[in-house]
Structure 1
Amino acid sequence: MKDMCFNAARHTNNILWGTVKQLKNRIVRFYKNLSIKKKLLLAFYIQIIIPMIFMGFLSYRNFAETINRMSMNYARDLLQMIELRFEDFLTNLSVISQDLLYDKTIYNALISKYIEDPILDYEIDNEISNTMKKIILSRPEVQAIAVVGNNGKFYYADDNSSTSSIKNILPYEKVLEKARKAQGKVTWYTDSSNGVVNYIYLVRTIYHQDTFEEIGLQAILVDKDFIKTVFDGLTRSMQNIVILSDGYDLIAARNSDSGYFIDGTSFGRLENERDSKIDRNINALVSYITVSGTGWKVITYVPLNVLYRDAYALRRNLLLLCIVTAIILSAFNLAIAMSFINPINRLVKGMKMVQKDNRIVYIDDEREDEIGFLNKTFNEMSREINHLVNWVYREQITRKEAELKALQAQINPHFLFNTLESINWMAMLNNVPEISEAVTDLSDLLEASIGRGDRLITVEEEFMYSDKYISIIKRRFEDKIEFRKEILNGAGKIKIPRLLIQPLVENAVYHGIDKLRGKGEILLKAYLEGERLVIIVMDTGPGIDSAELDALNRRLSMDNDTYFKNLSTEKRQSIGIENVNRRIKLFYGDNYGLKIESEKGKYTRVIVNIPANVESAEGYYVQGNDY
């Protein structure tokens, strides 16, 4: 399974790499096919327009980030001022609640279970009501006050602006539950509907001073409109301010933009005590704090279209500047480009006329720059070509007859073969078979060297030519040479350049066997090894010392460029082997060639490595020996 996944991933990578390579080739081909004018314009846009866009984008982004940072800092300062005002506001209300808590009349009324005297009861109720009204009249933030005892007594007072009495609107059970959780401390209760706070109460439970039993509930109805005074007088630049309850209901808001209304549900959940962020849901910069003791959120927000008004103007101006600059510079660049392109077009047109008609073309363009030099050179070249064409034409006519006669006098290769064939018949008629066999072998080798027929022959045919060479050589060395051939696993059918191996056999004879006092053996072996054909020519001669062997292998491993550059500076020691090696590298590539292995006093082995799957190619038929 892992192998399948790996193969699939590799296949996918190959496809992806192939696609990228094709795309790259298409882009390169597209660029090469562009005219010079389009290439100059393309270079201009890449070098000028793209940096301008990049710089404009960075300027706009830095400007926007600066606006964000400054707006957030300003919002934090503004919220800190509102927070201080809220603390004063809450402190004043806590003081009022504390004064009511320690009022003797209210306390005594709450601890009295029942008052039998109706006049006394009325007087106590009137005194408590007057105390509350004094507070309401002196403190504009207080709209109504109520004290409810466990004995069922309900003492309250309202201001004249109230449409409903606190006695009728106070949700006693809910307020009592919230106050009990605070355990005698001041806490806040907001009465909301449809996400909007209708009434705000400061509430606390009242306990018996001796037994610490709960004896009543205190509730102060806060004027909701008075809360807006915490942001009255503040700058209008941060015009959008929202105050939310701990249940995210809207308490108060300042928003002069009626078309950009935001309620308490627009901000989601604000988890931190204070923060500033870009809210993408409402497209605004939002900053907020949490008022301690209440859980309320004071939020300021600026719509992004207002916040980035100057940034948008800068972006618009930068874009306009880029467009105007691109138009002006394009016209300027096009004018410069045409001053180069028009002379080049005239030069190209003149070249086409010379190519078509072989006539003199003169380009009259008085310039002192490089194009002017090209025009002058072209004019001279045009005159010289016309002169050379006429001269060569006349020269060829005058030499034609002499060359035909000279060709007729050349030795015809057929004459050479016919002569050898005549010698062969004479040897047979005179009963000298040794001469006949030698002449026949020599004729076959000459035919192979001249290269009549296919340029590529099979390994079997190449080994046959080596047989004929050994046959001729044995007439000199007699039984001193033992020649052995091996062709393994179908290597005999592989085609190789003609007479590729014979120079190596020749080298083995004259540098190996010839230097022995006794008999020697030459092994000619061919086999397939993967996608390669390996041919080994081995002799049991005296071998090569290590220094000479290393130098020879170093030369054989050179690529063709390095070899031919060093050809005039280095001494060649084994011409036949080097010629065969160069033929292989020129024919098949620098990855193939010869390698020599030798052990002094034992053997020398020449290893030929060539590809086995080459059927036809243009070869280089260099052959020779070094004697």
Structure 2
Amino acid sequence: MKRLIRYFSDISVSWKFVLAYFSILIIPVILAGFYLYYQVSESTIAQASLVMEQNLLQTKASILQNEKVIENISGILALNSDFMNFLEYEYPDLNKKIEEYQFSYSPLIENILIQNNSIHSIRIYLENIIISEMLNSYYSITVTKSSERFLEMARDKPQKKGWVSSHSAKTHVFRNIADNTQVFSYNRELFSQRQKYLGMLEIEVREEVLFSMLRDPVINEMGNVFIVDAENKIVSGNIPEYYLADISETGLKNFQAGSRKRTVEKVNGTEAIVITIPVEQIDCTIVGIFPVKNFNGEIRKSLKDIIVVLTASSVVLGVIIYFTTNMLLRRVKRLVSAMNKVRDGNLNVSVPVKSMDEFGVLALNFNRMTQRIYELVETVYKIQLMEREAELKALEAQINPHFLYNTLATISWVARREKAPEVVRMANSLAKFYRLVLSKGGTVITVEEELEMVKSYLEIQKIRFDDLFDVVYRIDERAYKYNIVKNILQPLAENSLTHGIEPKRYHGTIIIYVGLTGDKICLKVIDDGVGMNAETVKKVMQGKVERSKGSGYAVKNVLQRLKAYYGDDFSVNIFSKPGIGTTVAIEVSKDIKS
């Protein structure tokens, strides 16, 4: 390592610049290349996420369209007044009712089945009859035919309305034929025109038709799409092996049924785009898992080409730097020599300027600098004198508060000697008030100090106004430790007294409230004074005042200081009614630097 350092120290300055520039430039170039690759890859993934989300939204729209068709079909039957009257009518002979159904209404349902190939079967459950319709197939049973058989089939009667998740078709129950067709069921209650409950209508829809859009070749090439029910079971998808499996078996973790999200996460150790879109109408969720490599595979293949191009570019850049450095160093050496002379006190030095490139401008400015150096030295000397004068003024300003405190202490002592307790109270309160107002030049104090300041002010005013008003403090002591902008409550309390209590000319009350609301500090000043109308409140909030003192000026001053310290993280509201009183409420963040 020492030999390498010694070797680097002994080589020419030109080669040092070449190696330094080459090292400095090659790293950004490589980083830029990888950053470009990363950005393109991320952009591709983001675009792919949007495209696949749109595809799944179209899939949802197709599902909802199919779902709407089924619901409309149920409406055709359930809202058919003739059909409902027929179902409600109690035939003396149930066989006559079956016969009437077969000749009058079975063709209607059969026509529905022919026009909608997604429907596997339609069944009607009545109190004493169960009717099942399939394409080119019809079956019915009454309670009088075979009570045992009727009760067996009645046990499969839907217990709730709406959609029921994937299950095997009920063909075997009615016809003793094995049928592995997977269906979704839509159930609807049947009511007569008199709103009498008649029974249930069940429409079985083939899963492969209801979710046929999941077999889209474009989606299948990009990844896997599943329909997951509320129990996290896969009830449809483009991979049959996962049917009725838990969604976690696909490698997807932290799945929440009914939630919508679009993220990139690890699925079975592979980075994948995961999109979930709820379909509330059928209580299911569309889940898309699309491996990222399916979208940025080509970009990875081009990474080697990018590295080759970056390397070649770096070599060419190194050669250019070598020759450029040799040219520039000659002029730099002249400039360094001139600077050394100036360092030794020779101000009559100039560097020849042969061009106006950066080094030429540098040389020109160096020449101007040598001409102005005397003026700069003199200016610095004057600034030092001004700084000393400012320090002296600052020291004088610090004496004034001490003089004020000492004077107030003297007044308090004299009043105590002369047995004037009210003067003692006023002097002590005024001293405390100014101590808190000045607070060593700080602009942020604790809530407890802010309360002490407003208490001192109101104590003085109570003496001045001969106890014309009472003060009630409602304080949450948990707020004491938090910091707040200084002198917020006092201007508001002064407003309440001057513009609320004093004008009504009889005894009043001022309430000072401090509390915590979540991550906010809540401050309120409430009075039962003369109040304001809505127009005046609006002008006060907008700071439109005609004089330099008053409610509008105080609120404007408070708003400006809150804006300066909290930005937009505060709120001020004024509630007032003429003849009732005024409430000024302020909420600020707990977090402010002292």
Query: Normalised by the shorter chain, which TM-score bucket?
Result: 0.3 to 0.5
Which structure is larger by alpha-carbon Rg, 1 or 2? 1
- TM-score after normalising by structure 2: 0.41
